[in-house]
Amino acid sequence: MMAGMDKWTGLGSALASFLFLWSMVQSHLPVAFRHRLSTWATKLASLFSPYLHVTISEYGAERFSRSDLFLAVEAYLSDACTRRARRLKAELGKDSKNLQVSVDDNDEVTDTFRGATIWWYAARKLQRSQVISFYPGQDERRFYQVVFHRRHRDLVVGSYLPHVLEEGRAVTVRNRQRRLFTNNPSSGWNPYRSGKGVWSHVPFEHPATFATLAMDPADKEAIVDDLEAFRDAKDYYAKVGKAWKRGYLLHGPPGTGKSTMIAAMANLLDYDVYDLELTAVKNNTELRKLFIETTGKSIIVIEDIDCSVDLTGKRSKADKKNKSSSSEDDGNNNPKLPADPDKDDGTKVTLSGLLNFIDGLWSACGGERIIIFTTNHKEKLDPALVRRGRMDKHIEMSYCGFEAFKVLAGNYLDITDHELFGEIRQLLGEVNMTPADVAENLMPMSKKKKRDNNACLEGLVEALNKAKQEAKAKADAEAKEAKEKAEAEAKAKEEEEAKKGQGGDQDQGKEDKTSESTEGKMSNGEIKGSEQVTSDN
């Protein structure tokens, strides 16, 4: 037994001595010769091993950003293979809402795909040199190795790795923290400083869903069906030759839930939201830059577009300007100097630029985007801005009906029926009240209302009756004002006609006086004498 131990001890010592000597010799060999030896060793190993290796590095050609394939592999393995791993690591990934558990370095997991077994190895390799590098991937290298039998080469390269990439991206989207973006002023854009880019963002945590949205159930079902059809229509949009985007126009009085509708859309589709403030955009070029920096699976929102920028009067103003300039040119042939662009401190975003932003050539960059405009006055918008193809679906957010009220009652009071529902139905049919006002009356903020749902509903009935009385008083006042206006106009018309009549009598009196004077003269022989004199002459 001692002889056996001495044998293994001697073997280990010899192996250690060989490795030491090899490291010394390797440091003195030329680089080209070392690469040649490595190539020969790989070929020699391939003669005895039927397995192939694919290495996926953390950093690719762009040293400042991690490889998309590496990130997708990491997400895929954390979702599909961590249950078979023995060593795990947990971290909260960037822009992730969930804890990410992935395979730790120097561990092995197996995966199966269409009957083929694939081995994954997570590894880390430190660089030998002590040189400080500006590239994040130079001081250490993390990589995954895929090992598979050579007979599965076409399957792994042609099908399995694209499958891993697609599934990994899907996992990343499911686990990511959705964000609410807003555009920064162009004076502060700095791509090399964190938070100084084109967009800045905060976590999007709005709780609104279509289940809690105060709206007629049939209308909600139609909108949900349209959104889900858009989400699954990538191949269809490519088939018909259209960019994968869709426009929605939300219009209606204030307080009818337009912003809540946007939040419900984002939660249904799991999209990011880009809240575009047009007043912070200087020109059309900046608008295109903002669009390019948005990502897929996003909703781009311009709220109150009729108030953001004066787009409705651009054409008429331009026409007037052209007419005035042409008339000046006709009168004066001297050349005109161009206007100073720096004198206009406001935005120079034009209607044409916004139309190109919605469905021009730049709108096809990327995919799976929804563009939403909101307005309280649809009639003020240019027809070219809201036509089908730009704003594909127009959704009217109207006053609260009884079906919407039942949704609010379920949300705020957890009730589906009550003895006051009949009276509330009748009042809602007679009074225009927004869902926001109805919800405010149903919200049990006081201790009394928290103890009794009847108090909330009675408060709503009282508010509806008050609104009904105010609406009646307003209508009566408007009718009285209209009546007084009509009477004033009628009186003014009568006075005008009377003045015209008095003017006619005065003219008639003048004519009578003139005829009387003429007759008197004739009787005195003045006119007759003059005629006689004339005849004598």
Closest CA relative to residue 294, chosen from 276, 268, 269: 276
What pLDDT, on a 0 to 100 scale, did the predictor assign at position 22? 60
Query: Which residue reads 């005008």 in tokens?
Result: 496
Q: What CA–CA distance (Å, rounded) separates 243 from 65?
A: 28
For the beta carbon of residue 139, count every other beta carbon within 10 angstroms.
13
If you classify domain 186-325+348-396 with CATH, what class do you get? Answer: alpha beta
Domain boundaries, the chain: 47-177, 186-325+348-396, 414-495
What distance in Å separates the CA atoms of residue 399 and residue 405, rounded to the nearest whole number? 10
Distance, CA of 122 to CA of 56 (rounded, Å): 10
How far apart CA 537 and CA 533 sit, in angstroms, is 6
In degrees, rounded to 5, the angle at the alpha carbon of residue 288 between the alpha carbons of residues 286 and 291 is: 110
Residue that is written with structure tokens 């509806």 in the block: 464
| Contact predicate 148/119, CB 8 Å | yes
Helix axes 68-80, 161-175, angle to 10 degrees: 80
Q: What is the DSSP letter of 380?
A: G
Are 442 and 408 in contact, with CB atoms under 8 Å apart?
yes
| For the chain, counts of helices (H) and of strands (E) | 19, 13
For residue 391, which of 382, 404, 400, 403 has the smallest C-alpha distance? 382
This model's pTM is above 0.85: no
Q: Return the DSSP state at 108.
A: E
Q: What is the rounded distance in angstroms from the CA atom of residue 249 to the CA atom of residue 372?
A: 6
Token digits for 3? 């002889």
Q: At what angle do helices 421-430 and 453-524 cross, to 10 degrees?
A: 20
Question: Burial of 456 by CB count in 10 Å (0-12 exposed, 13-18 middle, 19+ buried)?
Answer: buried
Distance CA 513, CA 507 (A): 10
- Which residue positions in the chain have pLDDT lower than 70? 1-48, 60-65, 81-102, 104, 106, 125-140, 188, 190-196, 308-347, 445-451, 503-537
